[in-house]
Structure formats: C-alpha cells, structure tokens
Amino acid sequence: MTNPYRGEVALEIDGVQHQLRLTLGALAELEAGLDSGSLMDLVARFEGGKVSSRDVLALIVAGLRGGGWQGRAGDLLAAEISGGPMAAARAAAELLTRAFLPPEEIAT
C-alpha cells in the first residue's frame, strides 16, 4: 500500500505495481544526472509546464531506485507504463510534490 506521508507514489510498470519514493540518495543521484541546473530548476520546469520526457524518465528512475528497484533507465525504454506518458508525468510531478512539501500540506 502506498504511503503518501513517506513520499510514496504508486506506478504500474509492465503489469507490476511499484512504490516510488525520492530518498535523499535518489535525489542526489537525480541531481547528478541532470543535464543542467539543480533540483529547484527541475521543480521550476514542472511548475512552468516546460518539463521534458527526459525529466519525467529521470524522476521515475530516481523514484524507483528510492523504492528499492535495481534497474537502469534503459530498462524502462520499452516498458509499458499503465496510463502511458501522462500517468508517468503525473507520478513524476507527485514525487516532487511529496519530496518537498510537509506531510500536512499533501492532499491525498
């Protein structure tokens, strides 16, 4: 079961339900892999509607890793995400929201 107060977001990939979470280690890995800017720049891109599919994929990979997944970004290139690209983008945005908002401000 997904616990939003721990920052968890559920996403079904290839028929398997995953719990994604942006741990400090996952955030550090995500920031190191960004083409430009910082995590706050990434947040600004999401807020401004200028997010790229690369941003979404990077966040999904970071969230999966934070949830214990051992795969690589390349493993997701042919994966079937339930709900398609829009579901992946929503999950990525939710991960950012849950990582940077206090639990009492998170709407479940």
Kindly write down the DSSP assignment for every residue of the chain, as one continuous string.
---GGGT-EEEEETTEEEEE---HHHHHHHHHH-SSS-HHHHHHHHHTT---HHHHHHHHHHHHHHTT----GGGGTT--BTTHHHHHHHHHHHHHHHHHS-GGG---
Instruction: Determine, yes or no, domain membership for 15.
Output: yes
User: pLDDT of 80-92, one tens digit each?
Assistant: 999 999 999 999 9
Instruction: Determine, yes or no, domain membership for 49.
Output: yes
Instruction: Determine, yes or no, domain membership for 9.
Output: yes
Instruction: Determine, yes or no, domain membership for 51.
Output: yes
Confidence of residue 104 (pLDDT cuts 50, 70, 90): low
Number of domains composing the chain: 1
Statement: residue 39 has pLDDT above 60: yes
Q: What is the mean pLDDT of residues 21-39?
A: 86
Statement: residue 108 has pLDDT above 60: no
Q: What is the mean pLDDT of residues 27-32?
A: 88
Compare 16 and 38 and report the one with higher pLDDT: 16
What percent of the chain is predicted at pLDDT more than 90? 50
| Domain interval for residue 17 | 4-100
